[in-house]
Amino acid sequence: MRLRFTKMHGLGNDFVMLDGISQRVKLSPEKIRHLADRNLGVGCDQVLLVESPRNPDTDFRYRIFNADGGEVENCGNGARCFARFVRERRLTGKSRLLVETAAGILTLNLLDDGQVGVDMGAPVLEPEQVPFAADVRADSYPLEVDGETYMIGAVSMGNPHAVLLVDNVDSAPVAELGPKIEHHERFPQRVNVGFLQIQSRTAARLRVFERGVGETRACGTGACGAMVAARLRDLVDEEVRIQLPGGTLTIHWSGPGQPVTMTGPASTVFHGQIVL
């Protein structure tokens, strides 16, 4: 199978974009792992597939596969790249798109300055819906790992996030603690793990260990989840600039029941073909 693809990134979180509308695409976990392999394939954190919509009220269907071959529900940086991709490939001429995902419908807005705004929907805070094992909903929860207790926020942005506050993200134990929390028994579908450093009411720094991938240079849903977790504890204002290793995202959330909006860049790296 010969596939045309486009390599893109959002703040260094990189993707292989596949147009499943104008070419036939049949993916398996093995093929996805090959595409994502940085030595033997194209190399990426995730593979994103554009398909025709099933819902007549939407413009496209958007599927997301982690580098390990597993399909996931949502990806904020990928959503911004998706919007740029369908415009650049002339699959649409619209500036506002309604897109189906496994987590629901996303609204994407291509802005005049080249950035993309994404309405990520309202965060899910009820533990059983994250999903996270807890008796009652709380702004933070104790989580025991290797005999140590950490206070975490648990939020779903269509995919689950655990958020830890740290004094300095540069020295945070991302590589050691990230995989242990990702696979913690209280997260039955595993979890993305954010390490958040609050700098002010309007600024923060973040590193994210993504499930099925490892640490990435940026995570859009992770930035949204981190902002929500911080705001629930009244640590930040309604709009926060979150600096990730790959760059900065602007996140806005006015409170429970309201949608989270994320604004940031999306960049095309190159186009190519690969035989699978």
Q: Are 207 and 195 in contact (CB under 8 A)?
A: yes
Identify the helix (H) or strand (E) that includes residue 82. helix 76-88
pTM, 2 dp: 0.88
Q: For residue 219, what pLDDT is reported?
A: 94
What's the one-letter identity of residue 222?
Answer: G
For 57-73, what is the mean pLDDT?
94
Q: Which residues are designated catalytic?
A: 75, 219
Same structural domain, 108 and 153:
no
* Residues 109-141 pLDDT 10s: 999 888 999 999 999 999 999 999 999 999 999
Same structural domain, 53 and 149:
no
H helix runs in 153-249, sequence order: 174-182, 220-232
Tell whether the torsion through CA atoms of 115, 263, 163 and 63 is positive or negative: negative
Same structural domain, 160 and 240:
yes
Same structural domain, 252 and 131:
yes
Same structural domain, 196 and 150:
yes
Same structural domain, 114 and 231:
no
Q: How confident is the model at residue 74 (pLDDT cuts 50, 70, 90)?
A: confident
Please determine, for residue 103, whether its predicted confidence score (pLDDT) is greater than 90. no
For 60-74, what is the mean pLDDT?
93
Please determine, for residue 174, whether its predicted confidence score (pLDDT) is greater than 90. yes
Same structural domain, 139 and 83:
no
Domain of residue 65, CATH code: 3.10.310.10
Same structural domain, 91 and 141:
no
Q: For residue 243, what pLDDT is reported?
A: 98
* Residues 180-223 pLDDT 10s: 999 999 999 999 999 999 999 999 999 999 998 899 999 999 99
SS3 of residue 29 by DSSP = helix
Same structural domain, 222 and 113:
no
Whole domain around residue 79: which residue ranges?
2-118+265-275
Q: For residue 249, what pLDDT is reported?
A: 97
Please determine, for residue 261, whether its predicted confidence score (pLDDT) is greater than 90. yes
Same structural domain, 135 and 95:
no
Domains identified in the chain, total number: 2
